[in-house]
Amino acid sequence: MDTTKQKLSTPCFILDEEELVRNINEFRTALESRFKSAVIGYSVKTNSLPAVLQIAKDHGCYAEVVSYHEYSLALRVGFDKRHIIYNGPLKSKETFLQAVKNGAIVNVECWREIEWLRELPHDQHYKVGIRLNINISKVSPEDADGPDDDNRFGFSYESGDFGRAVDDILAIDNIKIVGIHTHREPKTRSVGFYKRVIAYVSSIILDSKLNLSYWDLGGGFFGIMPGKPTYQQYVDGFYEAMPEKLRNIAIVVEPGNAVVASAFDYLMQVIDVKEHDGRYYVCTDGTRNDVDPFFHKSDYFKEFLLDDSKEHSLADNPQIVSGLSCLEYDRLFEMPKGSPKLICGDRILFHRVGAYTMTLSPLFIHYFPNVYLQQEGRYSLLREEWDVDQFIANNRY
Ligand SMILES: *Cc1c(COP(=O)(O)O)cnc(C)c1O
């Protein structure tokens, strides 16, 4: 048993800085083995803890942001204005124009952004990228989640919107299109998906009048995980699928999950056990909202840290391990009859819970939990549990 972990106040997340850095560095090494120029834009929405953003920044990542709040957050944490990748429909006009003026990578997503571009001073030239719509069922049916795996984002080539958007932008005398953005997250996260996207998009680029300096392939990759594609395999796939003529283009990737998932653990403690209806109901001080906010996981990478100062018997009934919230469905997992019977003080550690957990966590009943930094077996607080002061901030009553 890791006695230090036993002392942390629960529930809490634990960030392993070394793991995050290793992931970023390995992804970069893979990209640099194939492409002359590559940028890693860390996807802020996947985990926007300021400490994570700072580590990403300090290890050469840009911040990939998808709202004006994330844009401001990235600047607050200290990202250079040129090291922002600004995507999505939730750009404000002010931050959009500021980003374009300051040389950020800005991928146009909406018609209104094209209108905003007209307002830039005409005595200077500016560069933007544009997002292309990727319908997985059409581009890579092998990877589709059902027959209609369509996409809400980007301009569609087939409908003619993409061509119209390109023409509208190029008609503005001081704006150049220098990049294309083709993010899409297939359920399979397969290497083949990216190869098929590259083949599809290449023919659009080569048929058009676009002369691009970057191709932003987006995110959606697996992190380092047994049996899953490695960063190198993804990058080799990009390179193989890329037509000769486009191989000099700068590659941008926007990993979130792939770099941050494995860097976080979550720790909870058993606070009560009841018995009825032929089952033990184990209540913890954690919540499923914190480890599976979509409520779709069937299991977790979990580890039991049993309180070995106490005797553990084998359970003569199944045990239902549940969370702190008052939601009936806040149940994490079930343990079959015959497993060690959990008792108050036992702890459960969940691994690989850094992606889409902290950012999707609701302020329901229990406010944001502690986050600790783990460095060489020592722990320090990165974020203190929110209390009522943070919760009522900005309220008038
Ligand atoms: C969500 C998102 C990402 C990151 O996706 P991951 O699956 O976390 O890698 C990258 N780019 C854009 C545009 C996104 O919306």
- Tell me the DSSP string of 380-395: EEEEPPP-HHHHHTT-
Ligand 1 mean position, distance from CA 218 (Å): 6
Ligand 1 mean position, distance from CA 393 (Å): 30
Ligand 1 mean position, distance from CA 356 (Å): 10
Q: pLDDT at position 2, please?
A: 53
Question: How far is it, in rounded angstroms, from Cα 105 to Cα 108?
Answer: 10
Pocket test for ligand 1, best of 39, 40, 42, 46 (most atoms within 8 A of CB): 46
Ligand 1 pocket (Cβ < 6 Å) reads 43, 45-46, 64, 66, 87, 183, 185, 218-221, 254-258, 355
Closest among 151, 355, 156, 139 to 263, alpha carbons compared: 355
Ligand 1 mean position, distance from CA 251 (Å): 15
Ligand 1 atom nearest to CA at 256: 8
Ligand 1 mean position, distance from CA 47 (Å): 11
Contact assessment for residue 230 and residue 309, using Cβ atoms and an 8 Å cutoff: no
Closest among 334, 337, 336 to 316, alpha carbons compared: 337
Place of tokens 């980007």: 154
Which residue stretches of the chain have pLDDT < 50? 1
If DSSP codes are grouped into helix, strand and coil, which group holds residue 142? helix
103-109's contacts with Cβ under 8 Å and 24+ in sequence apart are: 103/127, 105/39, 105/41, 105/62, 105/129, 105/179, 105/214, 105/216, 105/252, 107/131, 107/179, 107/181, 107/216, 108/165, 108/169, 109/153, 109/154
Task: Express each pLDDT in 372-388 by its tens digit.
Answer: 999 988 999 999 999 99
Place of tokens 């697996």: 222
If DSSP codes are grouped into helix, strand and coil, which group holds residue 274? strand
Ligand 1 mean position, distance from CA 256 (Å): 6
Q: pLDDT at position 373, please?
A: 97
Pocket test for ligand 1, best of 20, 23, 39, 45 (most atoms within 8 A of CB): 45
Question: How far is it, in rounded angstroms, from Cα 217 to Cα 31?
Answer: 12
Q: pLDDT at position 55, please?
A: 98
Helix residue spans in 208-330 (DSSP H) = 231-241, 257-260, 288-291
Ligand 1 mean position, distance from CA 107 (Å): 14
* Full-model pTM: 0.96
Ligand 1 atom nearest to CA at 356: 8
Omega within 30 of 0 (cis) for the link into 11: yes
Closest among 230, 243, 234 to 198, alpha carbons compared: 243
Ligand 1 atom nearest to CA at 254: 10
Minimal-distance CA residue to ligand 1 atom 3 = 219
Contact assessment for residue 266 and residue 13, using Cβ atoms and an 8 Å cutoff: yes
Ligand 1 mean position, distance from CA 254 (Å): 6
Place of tokens 């009943």: 365
Q: pLDDT at position 377, please?
A: 87
Instruction: Indicate the residue type of 350.
Output: F
Ligand 1 mean position, distance from CA 32 (Å): 21
Question: How far is it, in rounded angstroms, from Cα 251 to Cα 214?
Answer: 6
Ligand 1 mean position, distance from CA 360 (Å): 14
Ligand 1 atom nearest to CA at 260: 8
Pocket test for ligand 1, best of 20, 66, 153 (most atoms within 8 A of CB): 66
Question: How far is it, in rounded angstroms, from Cα 157 to Cα 131?
Answer: 10
Minimal-distance CA residue to ligand 1 atom 10 = 219
Question: How far is it, in rounded angstroms, from Cα 140 to Cα 63?
Answer: 28
Burial-class residue 266 by CB neighbours within 10 Å (0-12, 13-18, 19+). buried
